[in-house]
Amino acid sequence: MRTLIIADNQDITRAGLRALFARNPAVGAVCEARSKSDLIRNLRLAPDAVVILDYAWFDFNRVEELCILRDRYPCSGWMLFSETLVGSLLHCSLRGERPFGVVLKRCDSDEIEAAFEAVMQGRGYVCESIRDTPAYPEQSGTGGMSADTVSSGMLHPVVSMPSVHSLTPTEQAVLREIALGRTTREIAADRYVSFHTVITHRKNIFRKLGVNNVHEATKYAMRAGIIDVAEYCI
């Protein structure tokens, strides 16, 4: 059984989801989160939890932050459950290593449960209401999932990112400093090494991880747990 985290600030929604999944044999403990910090705390305790999230009611600063948090906990499953979904959130939810389940609150209970089961099995899901809208990437020509990828509302996962274990301990430490916004000279001064030594570490890190810039390296560091999402946002 897996923990269910209901991340929604509406009392009626939390009560409804509890009732809907109360008899699901695959669900163990049910936790509630009313803020991003609550959600992160619950994920630390149950990293393989299934999260049902209303993004619109949560304190995420940007859509990318949500995708990074999802990738930070690779064993977790995610279902977005909202009144509406903006295009940028929908596009983000369909990309990456593991797409989200995406369901609107007006969907019937059968479709909500179908999305939940897909997420439990490591697949993505897009409800029929969203697939029929122009915002859906398949129809809008924005480079999203193709018709061959979507079957009965479900999406299949893709390959994972490079392992953090390819980096030496020193490179992991330097990556952490880079991700926290430290300059090359600041890192060199703190580590009592030359500026050029840090440049060499940086080149090796980028090569091993297959990234091209600090932004991509920072995203990797958060996904791999080298820095925490909350720590990055301070």
For 199, phi and psi rounded to 5 degrees? Answer: -60, -40
Q: pLDDT per residue over 88-112, tens digit each?
A: 566 665 655 567 888 989 899 999 9
Is the separation of the CB atoms in 54 and 7 below 8 Å? yes
Q: What pLDDT is stored for residue 146 in this prediction? A: 34
Question: Domain extents for the chain?
Answer: 2-155, 164-233
pLDDT at 86: 55
Tell me which architecture the domain covering 2-155 has in CATH. Answer: 3-Layer(aba) Sandwich (3.40)
Q: 19-45 b/e with 16+ CB inside 10 Å = b?
A: eebeebeebeebbbbbebeebbebbee
Tell me the pLDDT of the chain averaged across its residues. 80
Q: Residue 63 has what pLDDT?
A: 75
136 pLDDT higher than 80 = no
pLDDT of residue 217: 86
pLDDT at 216 over 50: yes
> What is the Cα–Cα distance from 13 to 54, expressed in whole angstroms?
10
In this structure, the number of other CB atoms found within 10 A of the CB of residue 58 comes to 17
Q: Residue 90's closest CA among 132, 36, 118, 121?
A: 132
Give a three-class secondary structure readout of the chain.
CEEEEEECCCHHHHHHHHHHHCCCCCEEEEEEECCHHHHHHHHHHCCCCEEEECHHHCCCCCHHHHHHHHHHCCCCEEEEEECCCCHHHHHHHHCCCCCCEEEECCCCHHHHHHHHHHHHCCCEEECHHHHCCCCCHHHHCCCCCCCCCCECCEECCCCCCCCHHHCCHHHHHHHHHHHCCCCHHHHHHHHCCCHHHHHHHHHHHHHHHCCCCHHHHHHHHHHHCCCCHHHHHC
CB 136 within 8 Å of CB 90: yes
Among 67-81, 82-96, 143-157, top mean pLDDT goes to: 67-81
Q: What value does the mean pLDDT take over residues 31-45?
A: 94
Whole-angstrom distance, CA of residue 157 vs CA of residue 68: 16
CATH topology of domain 164-233: Arc Repressor Mutant, subunit A (1.10.10)
